[in-house]
Amino acid sequence: MDNPPRVTDPLGWGYSLANVIELLSACLEAVPTRRVLEVGSYEGELTRDLLAWADANDASVATVDPLPPKRLLELVAERPDLDLIEDTGMAALAGLDELPDSIIIDGDHNYFTLTGELEAIAGRAGDEPFPLLMFHDAGWPHARRDTYYAPDRVPEDQRQPLAHNVGLVPGEPGVSETRGLPYEWAAATEGGAKNGVLTALEDFIAGRPDLKLAVVPAFFGFAVIYDERAPWADKVAAIVAPWDDSPILHRLESNRVDHLVRNHGLAQEVHELRVKVNEQEALLNDMLESSAFAMAERVSKLRQRGEPIFSRRRISEVLDK
């Protein structure tokens, strides 16, 4: 599969599951998947890869997003075979007539929402084996900390104490006003009960011994839940086992995230410096065009019998530099 530049990820954060498409598509083929449902498509980066995979594997793709952005709507117009469900993940899953072969969940990354989506799947599955389930953001920062796209969708008594427009830093359980990766709404504290994506996954399978969880610690964490009762379970297990909880990947991801946080901080500093420089340039340009400054310069020349310390010529030289 070709890997064109990711126009939706200009900062290179690697936030999309498209970054693990080789593992994800191998799992889809192991089932084998004829119908795949994506919950949380955002701008359709993974969706586009899923469509390319589906074209080669005689499969269909449906995607769920309650507020589809422009890029996703453009993809739907480009690919009318893509089924867009404009609803929340919980509502869409609860309303399915039949479960697809595989479900990919990358929606609102909080315990309440993800648990509701999983329970909706369980309700549809009944006593039958679960479909293949794949998830994003089972690693830092969402593993043990809720974040919210729309906090009002979550009952207040089911929400973690909220922090607004804050930064998250690896190894710091609180939030920062000046550092870290930015989030509009996040749990004020990392860890504890009913907090985070990985916590929700672990709690969900705890009472279901047939369900197994594997977590690939790369690109914010790719998780797979497979049902050992399914005929394809051994194939999926063989695919994910070499990557599951890999200490090498843990170290690589930790290093990658650390660089992301540092680079974001540097980018913020550069932005702030540019704002200050632009303000200073605007002020100097105003001074060059000011008749009052020109008159003051002439008076200063007469008093000092030479070029004054502050002159339009020197301001022009500074601006040219």
DSSP 102-132: EEEE-S--SHHHHHHHHHHHHHHHTTSPPPE
Please state the domain count of the chain: 2
Q: What are 94's two structure tokens?
A: 């609860």
* pLDDT at residue number 266: 74
Do 309 and 234 reside in the same domain of the chain?
Answer: no
pLDDT class of 291 with cuts at 50, 70, 90: confident
Average pLDDT over residues 56-80: 96
Q: How far apart are CA 281 and CA 315, in angstroms?
A: 10
Strand-pair partners of 164: 185
What are the tens digits of pLDDT across the range 95-121?
998 999 999 999 999 999 999 999 999
Average pLDDT over residues 156-162: 97
Do 193 and 310 reside in the same domain of the chain?
Answer: no
DSSP 188-205: SS--STT-SHHHHHHHHH
Given the structure tokens 């990711």, which residue do they identify? 6
* pLDDT at residue number 11: 60
What phi and psi, each to the nearest 5 degrees, are found at residue 159?
-95, 145
Do 308 and 262 reside in the same domain of the chain?
Answer: no
Helices (H), 18-110: 21-30, 45-56, 70-78, 89-94
Do 145 and 181 reside in the same domain of the chain?
Answer: yes
Do 255 and 314 reside in the same domain of the chain?
Answer: no
Do 248 and 298 reside in the same domain of the chain?
Answer: no
- Residue 280 maps to a domain: no
Q: How far apart are CA 285 and CA 137, in angstroms?
A: 49
Q: How far apart are CA 146 and CA 24, in angstroms?
A: 24
Q: How far apart are CA 225 and CA 246, in angstroms?
A: 17
Do 96 and 209 reside in the same domain of the chain?
Answer: yes
- Residue 271 maps to a domain: no
Burial profile 215-246: b = 16 or more Cβ within 10 angstroms, e = fewer: bbbbbbbbbbbbbeebebbebbbebbeebbeb
Do 105 and 218 reside in the same domain of the chain?
Answer: yes
For residue 32, CA distances in Å to 35, 62, 136, 298 come to 9, 16, 21, 84
Do 183 and 296 reside in the same domain of the chain?
Answer: no
pLDDT class of 10 with cuts at 50, 70, 90: low
Do 127 and 164 reside in the same domain of the chain?
Answer: yes
- Residue 254 maps to a domain: yes
pTM: 0.84
What are the tens digits of pLDDT across the range 198-215?
999 999 999 899 999 999
pLDDT class of 1 with cuts at 50, 70, 90: very low
Q: How far apart are CA 74 and CA 64, in angstroms?
A: 15
Give the structural domain span for 298.
290-320
